[in-house]
Every structure is written in structure tokens, then in C-alpha cells.
Amino acid sequence: MIMVCGASGSGKSYSIRNLNKERTKILNIEQKILPFKEALKFTNQYETNKIIDFENELNKSLDSDNFDVIVIESFTKYVELLLTQSKEINKGYEIYNYYNDKISKTLERIKRNKNKFVILLAIDERVEFINPSGAITTSRRVKVAGKQHEGQIEKEFTVVLFTDVKQEKGKETEYRFIVNNDGTSSAKSPPWLFPTAVNYAIPNDLNMVINNMKEYYELTPSVSELPTVATTLPPMNTYANK
């Protein structure tokens, strides 16, 4: 399970661009076209704004032999739709009981999967903490309504990546992933999973992330995953400036 978290426009959806187009299933709850040139070549996209349809399609995708990667675009939209549905069918405390239970069951269903990479995209939020010294620090975490899951979503994931936009005067903007907690977020990844990271940052390319995980965990590729001639799209800043 991989969580990619960050503000709108910070490169979350663009990071999908180099995934295998035939072996990737995108559950597009946002119902928006993906923000890169070859978006329509990802033919295994499913759009819906209904919880029951999303859950059914997720289950079918997890059970299917046709996909190696499942992208949920996005976890943020999923929990928004789920809370709306819960308010329509429940009252009082049952609203959040139902909502929290459904989130837990969905995450557990994904965790039971043993042969696919599942990537969830989400919006972040900034929260303030008081350190033992009394100093106030700000940190980023996955945004989710309700106290039960507030600040707890990240613990369900092996890898949590936070988007980072580096802007320097006279240089092109860089769109990156923060791969470990640098004191400003709840990012995490196993030691040495990303040996080329510079100051906890790597390019925002999920295909590279998955390839690193395959090598790190010594996963044997299936026949369908063997190298083929494919187009690799450039970093976000390069593409955006053309």
C-alpha cells in the first residue's frame, strides 16, 4: 500500500504518468481527466461517484489477474462521498460509527491483497503540535474527517509520500516526493528503499517508486511485467514548460 499525499496541483495525479498503461487500473472517483498528455492511453479507468459502485469495482480489481497496480483517485473524495452517504442514511452517533467502520473495512480489504500495488492519492492538512520544550511546530498529515482516523491513516501504509514543490529563483520548478519524515510531515518508507533520495526527496514518479519496491523486496516480475518498449514522460516541470 502506497499513500501519496499533498495539496491540489502539487503533482499527485501527474506522478501516475509512467505506470504501465495496460496493467494499471485507475478508480477515478474524482471523475476528472488525468493531467498529462497520455492520460487517455490508460484505458483501464473506471469513473463513479457512488460508494457501492466504487467498492464493487475495487473488489473486482483486487481479485483480477489483469492488473498489477490499482490507483485510487482519490482517497479524499472517497471519504467525502462516504460521509455524505452516512449522513443520508444515519443519525446522531451512527453517522460516524458507519463512516469509520467503512473506512476501516476498505483499508483492511486492500491490505489483504498480496499481489498488487495499491496507490491512494489524498489531500493533506497542516496541524500544529506543542513540543515538550513548549515550541509550536507544524506538520502535514492525511486529511480525513472524524476523530477515530485523524492522524491514524498513515499507520496502515508501508510507504507514505508527501508532495513537495521546490521553487528557486532563476530555476525551473521541481515537483518531488518527500520519502521520510523530515520534521514537517508524516512521510515514511523502509530504510534504503530510496537510496538516491536527496534531502529526503525523489522525483514524483510512481513507476520509479514501484520499481524500487520490487527490487527492495526482491519481487519476481510476471511475464506481463517484463520490459517492453514504452514512452517515459518527463518530470512535471519539463512537461509543463513545453
- What distance in Å separates the CA atoms of residue 211 and residue 233, rounded to the nearest whole number? 16
Q: Which of 36-50, 68-82, 164-178 has the highest mean pLDDT?
A: 68-82
User: 12 near 177, Cβ under 8 Å?
Assistant: no
pLDDT tens track for 3-38: 999 999 888 999 999 999 999 999 999 999 888 888
What interhelical angle do 93-112 and 75-89 show, nearest 10?
140
- Name the pLDDT band for 138 (thresholds 50, 70, 90): confident
CA dist 68 → 47, 191, 208 (Å): 19, 24, 15
User: 123 near 155, Cβ under 8 Å?
Assistant: no
Q: Where are the alpha helices (DSSP H) in 116-205?
A: none
pLDDT surpasses 90 at 190: yes
- Name the pLDDT band for 183 (thresholds 50, 70, 90): confident
H or E element that contains 165: strand 159-166
CA dist 191 → 51, 159, 181, 185, 219 (Å): 36, 11, 12, 17, 17
| CATH number for the domain harbouring residue 130 | 3.40.50
Position of cell 453517522?
A: 95
Averaged pLDDT for residues 84-105? 96
Provide the domain limits for residue 63: 2-240
Q: Among 153-162, 163-172, 197-206, name the one with the lowest average pLDDT.
A: 163-172
Q: Beta strand 2-5 with 117-122: parallel, antiparallel or unpaired?
A: parallel
Write out the three cell numbers for 201.
526527496
User: What is the per-residue pLDDT for 184?
Assistant: 84
Averaged pLDDT for residues 232-237? 55
User: 121 near 59, Cβ under 8 Å?
Assistant: no
Domain count, the chain: 1
E strands, 16-59, are 24-28, 45-47
pLDDT surpasses 90 at 135: no
Backbone φ and ψ for 57, nearest 5 degrees, come out as: -70, -35
